[in-house]
C-alpha cells in the first residue's frame, strides 16, 4: 500500500477502493477490521493526525475532515474505529504524562499498536444515574478504579484505553489504562444494529490499580471540557457526510438510467456539497454556524440520503447484503453516537415534523 501523503495523492483513491471492496464483509458476526486498519497504517493514515515531532504529518483540520469524509464514504466502520483510535492519541498527546507520550505514541503513530477511548460515561452516557458508573480513588501511587465504562470500541484489540473516572469529590480524571492490568475485564461486545465489527462493548474494572504515570488529566471538574481534551469536534459530522456521499453517489449512478431519480439525486448532492463547504469553513476557523447545527444537518442528510438510496434500490435493497440497506442501518448510528443534547432535540423535532428548531411546519 503506497503512502497517502496528501489528499490529491492517487494512493488515497486506491486505499478507499480497497476499503469499499472489503466493507460488506464487515457485516458478518465477529468481524474486526484488522486488515483495513493495517492497510490504513501502511498508507500512513495515522500519521495525518500527529505532529511531526512524533513522526506525524500534522495535517490541518481541513485536510483531516476531507480525509475522514473520503474514508467514511468507503467504509464507515473502519473510519469510525479510526476516530476512536485518534481520540485516544489526541488525549495522550495533549495530556500531562510525558511518560505516556514517549511510551505509547511512536507505535501508535506507526500503526503497530491500538488504543481507544472509554469516556462517554463522563459526558453523555449514564448521566441520569445517581452514582458515577466508574469511580476513582486516589492512592499514594496513583488511582484505584471500580465500576465500568459502558461503551469502548475495539477494547479487545487495544493495549491501552483512555478512560475517564470520577472521584468522590466529583472531580474527574483521564488515564491511559493498560488493558493487561489485574481487574480489567473486557466484556463480549453485543451485536449492534450496524457497525458490529467495531467490537464495541463495556469494560469492567474491579479494584484496578493504575500508576500515576498513566494520568493524562485531572483530577478536575469536567475533565472533558479541559484544554485539548475537549469533546464535540466536527469529525462526527464528517463521517455522516461521508456515509451520505456513498448513498448519493449510488443514487446518481441509478439516475443515469432512471429519469425520476435525477432531481432528488441532484438536490441531495447540492445539500452535501453545501454542508461540506460549511464544515470546512468551520474547521478553517470561519464558522458560519455552530458545530451542533452542522451535526444536526449532517445527521438529517445521512438519514434522508441513505433512505433515498433504498427507495431507488427498491425490494432488492431490502435484501440483506445490499449496500442500500446497510447504509440505512449505519445512518441510525449518528442518532446515538456522541450526540449532544441540542442535536438530539433538533433531530427529534425534525422527526416529529416540527423543523429543526421545533417550529411547526406549514
Ligand atoms: C456503536 C457505538 C460505539 C461507541 N463507541 C464509543 C467509544 O469507543 N467510546 C466512548 O466513550 N463512547 C462510545 N459510544 C457511546 C456514545 O458516544 C454515547 O455515549 C452513547 O451512545 C449514549 O447512549 P447510552 O445508551 O449510553 O445513553 P444513556 O443516557 O446511558 O441511556 C441508556 C438508557 O438509560 C435510560 N435513560 C436515559 N436517560 C434517562 C433519564 N433521564 N431518565 C431515566 N432513564 C434514562 C434509557 O432507557 C436509555 O435507553 C459508542 C456508542 C455506540 C452506539
How far is the C-alpha of 278 from the C-alpha of 295, rounded, in Å? 11
Length, in residues, of the chain: 362
CATH code of residue 30: 1.10.540.10
Do 246 and 340 fall within a single domain? yes
- Same-domain status, 300 and 274: yes
Q: Are residues 124 and 168 in the same domain?
A: yes
Is residue 150 domain-shared with residue 171, that is, in the same domain? yes
CATH code where residue 283 lies? 1.20.140.10
Cα(174) to centroid(ligand 1), Å: 19
216 within some domain? yes
70-to-21, 65, 240 alpha-carbon distances in Å = 14, 9, 11
Q: Which of 110, 127, 157 is at the close of a domain?
A: 110
* Pair 182, 254 in one domain: no
DSSP calls for 179-200: TTSTTEEEPPPPP-SS-GGG-E
Nearest protein Cα to ligand 1, atom 34: 126
Centre of ligand 1 from the C-alpha of residue 130, in Å: 15
Ligand 1 atom nearest to 154, measured from its CA: 8
Last residue of a domain, one of 85, 110, 135: 110
Residue 356: inside a domain: no
d(CA 314, CA 318): 7
pTM: 0.96
> Is 362 contained in some domain?
no
What is the chain's pLDDT, residue by residue, as a tens digit (362 residues)?
Answer: 899 999 999 999 999 999 999 999 999 999 999 999 999 999 999 999 999 999 999 999 999 999 999 999 999 999 999 999 999 999 999 999 999 999 999 999 999 999 999 999 998 888 888 899 999 999 999 999 999 999 999 999 999 999 999 999 999 999 999 999 999 999 999 999 999 999 999 999 999 999 999 999 999 999 998 765 344 489 999 999 999 999 999 999 999 999 899 999 999 999 999 999 999 999 999 999 999 999 999 999 999 999 999 999 999 999 999 999 999 999 999 999 988 899 999 999 999 999 876 554 43
Residue 281 Cα to ligand 1 middle (Å): 30
Q: Which three cell numbers stand for residue 40?
A: 490504513
Which residue out of 27, 86, 120, 236 has the highest number of ligand 1 atoms within 8 Å of its CB and is therefore the one to mutate? 120
Is 215 inside any structural domain?
yes
Structural domain containing residue 43 = 10-110
Does 230 reside within a domain?
Answer: no
How many domains does the structure of the chain reveal?
A: 3
- How many whole angstroms from 335 Cα to the centroid of ligand 1? 11
- Ligand 1 center to 124 CA (angstroms): 6
Residue 303 is inside which H or E element, if any?
helix 291-318
Phi/psi of residue 148, nearest 5 degrees: -155, 155
Q: Which pLDDT score, from 0 to 100, does residue 360 have?
A: 43
Residue nearest to atom 52 of ligand 1 (CA): 337
Domain endpoint, select from 162, 189, 224? 224
Alpha helices in 183-261, H assignment, sequence order: 235-255
Q: Residues enclosing ligand 1, CB less than 6 A? A: 84, 116-120, 124-128, 150-153, 192, 195, 198, 200, 336-338
Do 175 and 138 share a structural domain? yes
What does the pLDDT read at residue 358? 58
**Is 57 within 8 Å of 73 (Cβ atoms)?**
no
Q: Considering the domain boundaries, does residue 357 fall inside one? A: no
Under a CB-based contact definition with an 8 Å cutoff, are residues 153 and 118 in contact?
no
119 with 147, same domain?
A: yes
Residue 296 shares a structural domain with residue 324: yes
Does 3 map to a domain?
no
Indicate if 180 and 201 belong to the same structural domain.
Answer: yes
According to the 3-state scheme, what is the secondary structure of 321-332?
Answer: CCHHHHHHHHHH
Q: Is residue 229 part of a domain?
A: no
**E strand or H helix at 275:** helix 262-283
Residues 148 and 220 in one domain: yes
212 and 307 assigned to the same domain: no
One domain for residues 220 and 249: no
C-alpha cell at 330: 449505519
- Report CA(192)–ligand 1 centroid distance (Å): 13
Find the CATH number of the domain harbouring 166: 2.40.110.10
- What's the CA-to-centroid distance between 238 and ligand 1, angstroms? 21
Nearest to 147 by CA among 208, 63, 83: 208
- In terms of Cβ atoms closer than 10 Å to its own Cβ (0-12, 13-18, 19+), residue 259 is exposed
Q: Which atom of ligand 1 is nearest to the CA of 123?
A: 19
Amino acid at each position: 500500500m503506497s503512502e497517502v501523503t496528501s489528499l490529491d495523492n492517487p494512493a488515497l483513491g486506491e486505499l478507499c477502493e480497497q476499503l469499499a471492496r472489503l466493507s460488506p464483509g464487515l457485516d458478518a458476526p465477529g468481524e474486526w477490521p484488522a486488515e483495513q486498519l493495517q492497510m490504513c497504517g501502511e498508507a500512513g493514515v495515522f500519521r495525518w493526525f500527529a505532529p511531526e515531532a512524533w513522526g506525524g504529518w500534522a495535517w490541518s483540520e481541513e485536510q483531516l475532515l476531507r480525509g475522514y469524509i473520503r474514508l467514511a464514504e468507503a467504509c464507515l466502520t473502519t473510519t469510525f474505529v479510526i476516530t476512536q483510535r485518534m481520540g485516544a492519541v489526541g488525549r495522550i498527546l495533549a495530556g500531562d504524562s510525558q511518560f505516556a507520550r514517549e511510551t505509547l505514541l511512536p507505535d501508535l503513530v506507526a500503526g503497530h499498536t491500538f488504543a481507544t477511548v472509554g469516556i462517554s460515561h463522563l459526558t453523555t452516557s449514564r448521566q441520569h444515574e445517581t452514582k458515577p458508573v466508574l469511580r476513582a480513588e486516589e492512592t499514594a501511587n496513583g488511582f484505584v478504579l471500580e465500576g465500568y465504562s459502558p461503551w469502548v470500541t475495539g477494547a479487545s484489540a487495544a493495549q491501552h484505553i483512555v478512560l475517564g473516572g470520577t472521584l468522590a469529590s466529583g472531580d474527574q480524571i483521564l488515564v491511559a489504562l493498560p488493558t493487561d492490568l489485574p481487574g480489567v475485564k473486557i466484556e463480549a461486545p453485543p451485536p449492534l444494529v450496524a457497525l458490529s465489527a467495531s467490537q464495541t462493548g463495556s469494560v469492567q474494572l474491579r479494584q484496578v490499580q493504575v500508576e500515576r504515570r498513566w494520568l493524562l488529566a485531572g483530577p478536575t471538574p469536567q475533565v472533558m471540557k479541559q484544554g485539548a481534551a475537549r469533546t464535540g469536534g466536527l469529525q462526527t459530522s464528517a463521517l455522516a457526510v461521508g456515509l451520505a456521499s456513498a448513498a448519493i453517489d449510488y443514487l446518481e449512478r441509478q439516475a443515469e438510467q432512471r429519469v425520476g431519480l435525477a432531481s432528488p439525486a441532484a438536490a441531495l448532492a447540492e445539500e452535501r456539497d453545501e454542508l461540506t463547504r460549511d464544515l470546512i469553513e468551520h474547521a478553517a476557523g470561519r464558522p458560519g454556524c455552530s458545530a451542533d447545527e452542522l451535526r444536526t444537518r449532517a445527521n438529517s442528510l445521512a438519514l434522508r440520503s441513505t433512505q433515498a438510496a433504498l427507495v431507488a434500490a427498491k425490494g432488492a435493497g431490502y435484501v440483506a447484503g445490499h449496500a442500500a440497506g446497510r447504509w440505512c442501518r449505519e445512518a441510525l448510528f449518528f442518532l446515538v453516537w456522541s450526540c449532544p443534547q441540542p442535536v438530539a432535540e433538533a433531530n427529534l423535532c425534525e422527526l416529529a415534523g416540527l423543523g429543526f428548531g421545533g417550529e411547526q411546519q406549514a
